[in-house]
Each structure stands twice: as structure tokens, then as C-alpha cells.
């Protein structure tokens, strides 16, 4: 009897999970150690001994390939045809933050708790409100104040006629500081709220670090575990292999009907 009820419960869970997601989306079994389903990400994280330059902290476990890591250091990488220097030269001290932002986005296997489905032609998932450590955001803003841009949201509204983003008509080049008056305006506005500036500091285990020294391991693993546990749901299922395998078994039976 108890077993029967467990089966019914599992059936209900599996049915609910099955109907909540379109079939085209990559099955997401947990929030930990996962890669988002986007343009260049690997299906699963793994070691990448040859990650390039600023992406090298993710060598032990990464969602990006070595090729991707190299490409995203270029001013107008072929990955996105996106030009940071749309208003003339960007200071190198500023540019390194954009490279690091790319590395985190493409390589991190610790963003699972903030992955959301989207309807975009070029990706099925995005990140939303990743709690970026406040120092990482402040430094980014400080180092970019004197560089130039023409927009406060870089995700949409460009003129793509030439194949590379150009400032749209009427968007004038001014300093970063005039388009992004505060650190939060930059880190949160830039990519339509991919990041949210955290009240927590680097090293707290409660915010995601864009920059870290891999000699001490990847500090974002602990952060993802904390938020996955706080969110419950799929994150804690992953911590229960027996339930997960039962669900998997039922799923197989149901889907082969």
C-alpha cells in the first residue's frame, strides 16, 4: 500500500515536471554543476586544461571550451559579433571586466540556481539576478567610468545592419558614468538583470565572484550550494540519489508508453 502511494506520488511529480517544460528544452536534473542551454555552452561541465587567459580559473571544471575561452578575449569575437568599442577605444582596465564577465557567463558551472528559460532565437536559457559580489561590481564600474558608450542596456536596441552592433540613431557616445550613474546601474542594467548586486562581500560564500584565484578552489561552488538548498526544489532532489533514480525509472516507463 505504502509502495503504491509512493508510486502515485512519483507519477504526480513526474507528470507535473513533464508538463511544466517544453520538450525541446534540455532536461534539467539539478541546480548544481550544470551548464546553461545557450549558444556556446557545453552540455555538461568538465575539465578544460587549455582554457585561455582570464578564463583559466575555470580549468578544473568548465562549461566553455578552450576555443570559446580564446575567442571571447577578442574585441569583436566571432561568438557574438559584439563590439565593446562601439564608441571608440575602451580602456584596457575596463575591458578586462568585460572579458571576465564573458568568462563567468560562458565557463561557470555554478550558475544553476539562476538559470531561467527564455524565448530567444539564439539560446533557450539565460541567467537572471545572479548575486554578484558588491566589490566585483564596484571595481568594474570604477575602472569603466572614463570609457565611452551610447546605451545603458547592451542586450537590445543596437543597429545590427552591418552585422556588428553599432549605436542606433540618436544614441550619443558619452562616458560610462553618464549612462551608468551607479555600480548597480552598470552591473544590473547592462545585460537586462543577468546580475543583481549583492549586499554580501567577496569571500562570504553568499555572492558570486566574477574574479577568483583558482589556487584556493572555486568559491562559487559553495555559493551555488547555499542558494540551491535555500530554493529547495530540484536542487535538493539532486542531493537524494534514490528518489532521483526512482523518478528516472518512472519517467522511462511513462515516456515509453
Chain residues in the site for ligand NAG (CB under 6 A): 67, 71, 78, 119, 159, 161-162, 166, 168-169, 249, 252-253
C-beta of 162 vs 216, nearer to ligand NAG: 162
Strand partners, 255: none
Minimal distance in Å, beta carbon 38 to ligand NAG? 14
C-beta of 201 vs 255, nearer to ligand NAG: 255
Strand partners, 132: 197, 208
CA distance 190 to 252: 42
In 3D space, the residue among 201, 164, 203 whose CA is nearest the CA of residue 80 turns out to be 164
The grid coordinates of residue 169 equal: 540613431
Strand partners, 19: none
Minimal distance in Å, beta carbon 227 to ligand NAG? 22
Q: Which residue has the cell 554543476?
A: 33
C-beta of 47 vs 168, nearer to ligand NAG: 168
CA distance 221 to 226: 9
According to DSSP, residue 195 is labeled E
Minimal distance in Å, beta carbon 192 to ligand NAG? 14
Minimal distance in Å, beta carbon 41 to ligand NAG? 13
C-beta of 80 vs 191, nearer to ligand NAG: 80
Minimal distance in Å, beta carbon 76 to ligand NAG? 12
Helix ranges, the chain (H): 2-20, 66-71, 92-107, 134-144, 176-179, 183-189, 220-231, 234-238, 241-255
Within 10 Å of residue 25's Cβ, how many Cβ atoms?
11
C-beta of 16 vs 257, nearer to ligand NAG: 257
Within 10 Å of residue 191's Cβ, how many Cβ atoms?
17
Strand partners, 88: 86
Cα angle for residues 126, 106, 114 (degrees, 5° grid): 35
Minimal distance in Å, beta carbon 68 to ligand NAG? 7
C-beta of 125 vs 136, nearer to ligand NAG: 125
Amino acid at each position: 500500500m505504502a509502495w503504491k502511494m509512493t508510486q502515485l506520488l512519483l507519477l504526480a511529480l513526474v507528470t507535473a515536471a513533464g508538463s511544466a517544460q517544453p520538450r525541446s528544452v534540455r532536461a534539467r536534473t539539478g541546480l548544481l554543476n550544470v551548464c546553461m542551454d545557450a549558444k556556446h555552452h557545453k552540455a555538461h561541465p568538465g575539465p578544460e586544461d587549455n582554457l585561455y587567459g582570464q578564463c583559466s580559473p575555470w580549468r578544473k571544471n568548465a562549461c566553455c571550451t578552450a576555443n570559446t575561452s580564446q575567442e571571447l578575449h577578442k574585441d569583436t569575437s566571432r561568438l557574438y559579433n559584439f563590439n565593446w568599442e562601439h564608441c571608440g577605444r575602451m580602456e584596457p582596465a575596463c575591458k578586462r571586466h568585460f572579458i571576465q564577465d564573458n568568462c563567468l557567463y560562458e565557463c561557470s558551472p555554478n550558475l544553476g540556481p539562476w538559470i531561467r528559460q527564455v524565448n530567444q532565437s539564439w539560446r533557450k536559457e539565460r541567467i537572471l539576478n545572479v548575486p554578484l559580489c558588491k566589490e566585483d561590481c564596484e571595481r568594474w564600474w570604477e575602472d569603466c567610468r572614463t570609457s565611452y558608450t551610447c546605451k545603458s542596456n547592451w542586450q537590445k536596441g543596437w543597429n545590427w545592419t552591418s552585422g556588428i552592433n553599432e549605436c542606433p540613431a540618436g544614441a550619443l557616445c558619452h562616458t560610462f558614468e553618464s549612462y551608468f550613474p551607479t555600480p548597480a546601474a552598470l552591473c544590473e542594467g547592462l545585460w537586462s538583470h543577468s546580475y543583481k548586486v549583492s549586499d554580501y562581500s567577496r569571500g562570504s560564500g553568499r555572492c558570486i565572484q566574477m574574479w577568483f584565484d583558482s589556487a584556493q578552489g572555486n568559491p562559487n561552488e559553495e555559493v551555488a550550494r547555499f542558494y540551491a538548498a535555500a530554493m529547495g526544489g530540484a536542487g535538493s532532489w539532486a542531493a537524494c540519489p534514490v528518489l532521483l533514480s526512482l523518478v528516472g525509472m518512472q519517467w522511462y516507463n511513462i515516456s515509453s508508453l
